[in-house]
């Protein structure tokens, strides 16, 4: 059985150690594995190399497409688990793309990890975890995509899924914010699905430190006013917009 991963360079799977840059675990040392493929297409996506392959015409602001063979790697579940274990980190972040598209294989891989490794999954919130996978997850970082992502609401904001995540105490909600008007959409979703504000993080959209700082200047006040938590993008500030960081 295999997993399809993103690549840092042709043939090199994106499995690495770094500090978590976003959300509730920001600053913690982690192993990371980035899986390939996504069911959504955010126009500002900073990992479009996981889904916008040659022939994919879904909108993206860069309009760049990527060669699938050069940007995907297929590895056995055993190999992926061994590479993660070799990094020796106490926490694993499974990211993408949309990791839950590969839930059965992901569950089998995670079951091979050493005992005691905490696992968090980053998801766009449109796909449910299988029971086998759910039993192995300590934390979900759910990032529903707002209107400015360019995704139709019927694809990105599925009521049944959002209600399930809201009812799951292991799920933290991380919203990407580009303009002050995005805040109203977040508040409406939080009210509709009874998402506690203590589980809502707001994160500025941006892939360079200057853009992030400019947006965080007003986003911090919004978080204070609405009792929400500000999420940095620590990895961008530390390493820039690069793969494997």
**Angstrom distance (rounded) from CA 56 to CA 97:** 15
Q: How far apart are CA 161 and CA 178, in angstroms?
A: 24
Taking the C-alpha atoms of residue 158 and residue 163, their distance in angstroms, rounded to an integer, is 9
pTM: 0.97
Q: Which residue has the tokens 């990890």?
A: 113
In this prediction, residue 137 carries a pLDDT of 98
Residue 192 has, within 13 A of its CA and on its CB side, a CA count of 15
Within 10 A of 53 (CB to CB), how many other CB atoms are there? 18
Digit-coded pLDDT (tens) for 66-120: 999 999 999 999 999 999 999 999 999 999 999 999 999 999 999 999 999 999 9
Domains of the chain plus CATH, in order, are 2-172 (3.20.20)
pLDDT reported for residue 132: 98
Tokens of 207: 């892939």
Find the Cα–Cα–Cα–Cα dihedral 102, 20, 59, 192, rounded to 10°. 80
Residue 191's pLDDT band, with cuts at 50, 70 and 90, is: very high
Question: Quick one: DSSP state of residue 186?
Answer: H
């Amino acid at each position: 059985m295999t997993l399809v991963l993103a690549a840092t360079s042709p043939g090199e799977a994106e499995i690495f150690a770094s500090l978590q840059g976003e959300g509730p675990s920001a600053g913690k040392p982690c192993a990371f594995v980035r899986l390939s493929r996504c069911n959504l297409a955010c126009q500002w996506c900073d990992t479009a190399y996981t889904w916008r392959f040659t022939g994919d015409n879904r909108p993206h602001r860069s309009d760049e497409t990527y060669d699938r063979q050069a940007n995907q790697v297929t590895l056995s579940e055993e190999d992926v688990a061994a590479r993660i274990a070799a990094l020796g980190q106490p926490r694993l972040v499974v990211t993408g793309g949309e990791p839950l598209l590969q839930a059965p294989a992901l569950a089998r891989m995670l079951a091979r990890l050493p005992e005691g490794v905490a696992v968090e999954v980053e998801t766009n919130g449109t796909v449910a975890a299988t029971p086998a996978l759910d039993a192995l997850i300590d934390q979900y970082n759910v990032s529903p995509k707002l209107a400015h992502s360019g995704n139709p609401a019927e694809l990105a904001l599925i009521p049944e899924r959002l209600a399930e995540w809201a009812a799951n105490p292991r799920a933290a909600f991380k919203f990407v914010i580009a303009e002050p008007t995005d805040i109203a959409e977040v508040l409406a979703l939080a009210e509709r699905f009874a998402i506690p504000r203590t589980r809502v993080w707001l994160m500025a959209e941006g892939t360079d430190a200057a853009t992030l700082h400019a947006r965080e200047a007003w986003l911090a006040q919004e978080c204070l006013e609405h009792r929400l938590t500000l999420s940095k993008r620590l990895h961008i500030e530390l390493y820039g917009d690069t793969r494997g960081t």
